[in-house]
Amino acid sequence: MKISVITAVRNSRATLADALDSALAQDHPDMELIVIDGASTDGTLEVIQRYAARIAHRISEPDRGIYDALNKGLRLATGDVVGFLHSDDRFADDRVLSRIDAALANPNIDACYGDLCYVSQENPDRVVRYWRSGEYHRQRLAWGWMPPHPTFYARRAIYRRLDGFDLDYRIAADYDCLLRFLSAGRIACAYIPKVLIHMRLGGVSNRSLGKILQKSREDYRALRRHQVGGLGTLLMKNLQKLPQFFQR
């Protein structure tokens, strides 16, 4: 099946090549790479230009943030399956998309996800946290469980049916989207028990206390919106991060 990989980027000259190299190294034979740039000013465009021949679609223009960029990518995507590779992340190895293809070979499965490693910003080979997802059961949503969004790949038809990212959320639109898919949408998911993504620490949602508080407020709003839980669920969602520092 054809898999669309969407990368949203703004001023990530230092890490973008690593992300794109990991995508282009995939052994899956039918990948569509889409790069949406938010009018970068730091040399990112020069990096994108070096890969122009292997990028199916690219845009560089002002946007309303990362979720607006991802929505643009969704509108351009033509793959059977769609996922996202952030500009400071990379695929864990060259067989990630092949594993996703195999998981979605079952026509009754709508989406799949795997495990994620948080790695050091300065040394991306050093693992800081290991997010082992585990099997999906709908009741786990109320316990604060959620698959790592960077590992989540869904059929494009699911995005057409249930829509993409709500721009009213500045930090937690990915959580809102996953809750929509997994609660009201009731999509069928498969778990791939492998690390699929290496994610550099230092993302927008945890750069400062203010961002952490904003993320928590938006998470709580998404939980209430989709009638999944409340403050208890939010607390458990955050407490579940603690074992990730000790798992390997």
First to last CA, the chain: 32
pLDDT of residue 108: 97
Q: Do residues 9 and 38 lie in contact, with contact meaning Cβ atoms separated by under 8 Å?
A: yes
pLDDT digits (tens, 9 = 90+) for 193-246: 999 999 999 765 555 678 889 999 999 999 999 999 999 999 999 998 887 887
What is the pLDDT at residue 204?
59
Summarised one tens digit per residue, pLDDT across range 1-56 is: 999 999 999 999 999 999 999 999 999 999 999 999 999 999 999 999 999 999 99
Q: Is 100 exposed, middle or buried (0-12, 13-18, 19+ CB in 10 A)?
A: buried
Tell me how many domains the chain contains.
1
Domain that holds residue 119: 3-245
CB count, 10 Å around CB of 76?
Answer: 15
Lookup result for tokens 């730091």: 42
In this structure, are strands 57-60 and 127-131 parallel, antiparallel, or unpaired? unpaired
Which CATH number goes with the domain that contains 201?
3.90.550.10
Q: Which tens digits make up the pLDDT trace of 126-152? A: 999 999 999 999 999 999 999 999 999
How many CB atoms sit inside 10 A of residue 54's CB? 11
Cα–Cα nearest to 15, from 64, 87, 68: 87
* Whole-number Å distance between alpha carbons of 139 and 229: 11
Q: How far is CA 104 from the centre of its chain?
A: 17
